[in-house]
Every structure is written in C-alpha cells, then in structure tokens.
Amino acid sequence: GAFEVQLEGGEPTVHPGFCELVTIARADPRCTRVVVVSNGVLIPRDDAGLADWLARLGLPLTIKLSINHHLLARDDGLLALAAALRERMSGPDSELVLNVRLRPDAPGSDQHVVDAVREAGLLELANVFHLQAYGFASERDWERPFVVGEDFTLLNPDGSTHGTDLIARSEAMRVLR
C-alpha cells in the first residue's frame, strides 16, 4: 500500500546518501510524501541554494524543523531559515512544521524559545512539546515516549529495522559510525 518516508536522525541531511534515499523513495509510486526532520544545520540558507534543495526533495513534502534552546543559542539564523522555508513551502503539497522542544526539567527556562518563535511570526507552525527520555537523554527523569500509531517501521541507515520501538532504534543509532 501507500506509504510516507520520514528521514530523521540524528540529523538525516549529514548522511552521505541523503539525496539518494529521497530519490529511491520518490521512485516508488506508492510513496505519497517525504518527511524530513532536521535541525537545519545543513539546509542551504541562500535563496538559490534553498530553492534547489527543496526542488531535489520533490513534492509532496513535509519539513519538520527542530527548534530548542541549544539550537537557537548556536544558530542565530535558524528562525530566518524557518521564515524562508515558510515562504518557499506555501503550496498545497508542502508543509512546514516547527518542532519546538522544551526541557521538562527546566520549567520556564525555555520560554525564550517559544517567545522567539512567536516574535518571528511562526508560532502557528509550531508543535510545542517537552523532550522525552530516550537516546542521549535516556537517563533523565523525563517522560518516556509513547507511540501514537502502529502502521510504520523504523529503519536505520545500516538497514536494521526496529518495528515501532523508538527506544531500540535510538540505542541502535548510537553505535552507528
């Protein structure tokens, strides 16, 4: 049947075969959408480069851009990138989502992240939620992730599959080189 491909990480754009993965997905007529979850670090910031990058990803397309306290502190152009993506992804087959991630063990200290997204006029694109305890945060006293759907399979770059087990997939990703 029909399926969507979601490329996420770590950071999927650093994978040497990233563009090839998109091409393979798009070549299958059952692929209805490509979804890229990114921190934006390798997404081109110039107009021509961004237009070319989006064209190579094709349509239908969803970009889920991660925004948190750490990313905002290290990338002063992140919200400008989000605004540029919003401008370029205005068609019916394009969707931009801002995954605004807050630290649950630092109540109120990440309000500046939400405020910055609001001040940039981007809050209507945001899913604001707390980080969860898995992967590098597995030892934290945070809520563990829960799976909403069951009709998907997690596939790592090495070809291993992990069904719907987010934690097992994350643990397997930690040892990949």
52-111 pLDDT, tens digit per residue, is: 999 999 999 999 999 999 999 999 999 999 999 999 999 999 999 999 988 767 778 899
Do 82 and 153 have their domain in common? no
What pLDDT, on the 0 to 100 scale, is given for residue 20?
94
> Which residue would you say has higher pLDDT here, 161 or 126?
126
Range of the domain at 169: 135-177
Q: Which amino acid is at 49?
A: G
Whether 125 and 177 map to the same domain: the answer is no
Judged against a pLDDT cut of 90, whether residue 169 lies above it is answered with no
Judgement on whether residues 42 and 77 belong to the same structural domain of the protein: yes
Across the chain, mean pLDDT equals 85
150 with 124, same domain? no
Q: How far apart are CA 112 and CA 117, in angstroms?
A: 9
Q: How far apart are the first and last CA of the chain?
A: 33
- pLDDT tens for 123-145 read 999 988 776 554 555 565 656 55
Sheet strands side by side (includes 31-38):
3-7, 31-38, 61-67, 94-102, 126-130
Whether the model pTM is above 0.95: no
pLDDT for 22:
96
Both 177 and 127 in one domain: the answer is no
